[in-house]
């Protein structure tokens, strides 16, 4: 039997994370030491009260049925959390849970875009930012994030003909992979820009709790007019070390959320209730570990950035997120070439920047998922390898 498959699949390639993971497994079989800093999965444990809430809820057979929506207590907890954490007032019809922000970013375009609508997407950017709109049939218009502009979009440089067709714009700060944060002035300009050009803003706020050097992460929704022009995704994955639980929220404009909810009602039956109880415990319980983990991430950042800079490779300190973004040493021709040689010679695994868009070429991304002392070992391995010479 001859099978044919969707043309959409032609857009995808084997994920770089899978390629790196396969080689990592081979190296471990060979008995080699590996320092895997490619995938951003936190190595911290979730708090015990979160785990206990899930276990206790799972013991009730009623919680194994379709949830068919969000528990009122969870929506109220999210509203309270956003008021206390970000100073944002939300009604329960301005909140909806998701199977992680990646799921939400994949599907929201189906409720917003018609085929041929233009979506403004960052380059470099996290892959789902473009994959979601692409699958919804939208036309992608990439806006550059350049170091000379502190990795912020130059809103004035976007062509008028693009703006006239643009339906929505995807923005994310702190930004994965470039590790930049945005100022309040930027968000004020962004909201004015969205109003002027009738463009919906989708803000991914996955790393608001991982911001460094005494700064505090915020919310797009805390700025006047934000709920009129868009929504924000807030994830529990990185803040509470719940990546596998797959739970996040979309918040903001009630009309966008109402239509998105209607779409999602056709493709799922609500978040598994024990997961909802775990999310409730995370948002209403002690927040000490969120602060403590951020302090530890900063130690890791400093160990990596300062250590590599001390070897002669200028690696800037990240402003936010659990990553480090660095230009590759000059003697290497491509990100992939450098990552491959680095992995083979030192056991240090990072992600080539071209996995995040054409403007990521010439860069690499490290995930801060190893203790500071282990990162120091990795830096020493790089020194011993003489790969930077």
pTM: 0.95
Q: Is the peptide bond before 259 cis (omega within 30 degrees of 0)?
A: no
Contact 215, 206 (CB under 8 A): no
Q: How many whole angstroms separate alpha carbon 239 and alpha carbon 119?
A: 28
Task: Give the β-pairing of 248-252 and 230-235.
Answer: antiparallel
Q: Where in the chain are the domains?
A: 13-42+288-385, 48-284
Looking at the structure, give the CATH architecture of the domain made up of residues 48-284: 3-Layer(aba) Sandwich (3.40)
List C-alpha distances in Å: 116 to 27, 109, 121, 166, 176: 45, 12, 15, 10, 27
User: How does DSSP classify residue 380?
Assistant: H
- Which of 82, 84, 107, 86 is closest to 95 using CA atoms? 82
Q: Which CATH number fits domain 13-42+288-385: 3.40.50.2300, 3.40.50.300, 3.90.1150.10, 3.40.50.720?
A: 3.90.1150.10
List C-alpha distances in Å: 85 to 25, 82, 213, 340, 354: 41, 5, 19, 42, 35
- Give the pLDDT of the chain (389 residues) as one tens digit per residue: 888 888 887 777 656 667 777 888 898 899 999 999 998 899 999 999 999 999 999 999 999 999 999 999 999 999 999 999 999 999 999 999 999 999 999 999 999 999 989 999 999 999 999 999 999 999 999 999 999 999 999 999 999 999 999 999 999 999 999 999 999 999 999 999 999 999 999 999 999 999 999 999 999 999 999 999 999 999 999 999 999 999 999 999 999 999 999 999 999 899 999 999 999 999 999 999 999 999 999 999 999 999 999 999 999 999 999 999 999 999 999 999 999 999 999 999 999 999 999 999 999 999 999 999 999 999 999 999 999 99
Q: At what angle do helices 48-58 and 273-284 cross, to 10 degrees?
A: 150
């Amino acid at each position: 039997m001859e099978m044919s498959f969707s043309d959409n699949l032609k857009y995808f390639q084997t994920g770089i994370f899978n390629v790196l993971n396969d080689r990592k497994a081979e190296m471990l079989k060979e008995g080699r030491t590996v320092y895997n800093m490619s995938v951003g999965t936190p190595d911290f444990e979730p708090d015990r009260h979160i785990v206990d809430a899930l276990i206790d809820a799972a013991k009730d057979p009623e919680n194994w049925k379709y949830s068919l929506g969000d528990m009122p207590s969870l929506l109220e907890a999210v509203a309270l959390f956003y008021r206390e954490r970000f100073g944002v007032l939300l009604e329960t019809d301005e909140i909806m849970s998701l199977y992680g922000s990646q799921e939400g970013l994949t599907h929201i375009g189906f409720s917003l875009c018609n085929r041929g609508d233009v979506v403004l997407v960052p380059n470099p950017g996290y892959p789902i930012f473009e994959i979601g709109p692409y699958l919804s049939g939208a036309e992608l218009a990439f806006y550059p994030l350049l170091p000379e502009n502190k990795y912020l979009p130059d809103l004035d440089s976007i062509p008028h003909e693009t703006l006239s067709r643009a339906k929505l714009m995807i923005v994310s700060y702190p930004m994965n992979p470039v590790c930049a944060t945005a100022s309040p002035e930027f968000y004020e300009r962004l909201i004015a820009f969205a109003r002027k050009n009738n463009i919906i803003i989708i803000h991914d706020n996955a790393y608001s709790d991982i911001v460094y050097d005494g700064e505090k992460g915020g919310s797009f929704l805390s700025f006047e007019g934000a709920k009129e022009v868009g929504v924000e995704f807030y994830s529990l994955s990185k803040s509470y070390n719940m990546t596998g639980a797959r739970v996040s929220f979309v918040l903001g404009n009630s009309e966008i959320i109402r239509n998105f909810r209607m779409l999602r009602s056709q493709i799922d039956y609500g978040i598994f209730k024990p997961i909802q109880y775990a999310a409730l415990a995370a948002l209403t319980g002690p927040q000490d570990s969120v602060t403590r983990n951020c302090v530890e991430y900063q130690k890791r950042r400093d160990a990596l950035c300062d250590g590599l800079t001390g070897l002669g490779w200028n690696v800037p300190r990240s402003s936010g997120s659990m990553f480090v973004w660095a230009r590759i040493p000059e003697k290497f021709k491509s990100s992939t070439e450098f990552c491959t040689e680095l992995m083979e010679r030192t056991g240090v695994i990072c992600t080539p920047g071209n996995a995040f868009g054409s403007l990521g070429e010439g860069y690499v991304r490290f995930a801060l998922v190893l203790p500071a002392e282990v990162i120091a070992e990795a830096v020493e391995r790089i020194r011993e390898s003489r790969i930077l010479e």
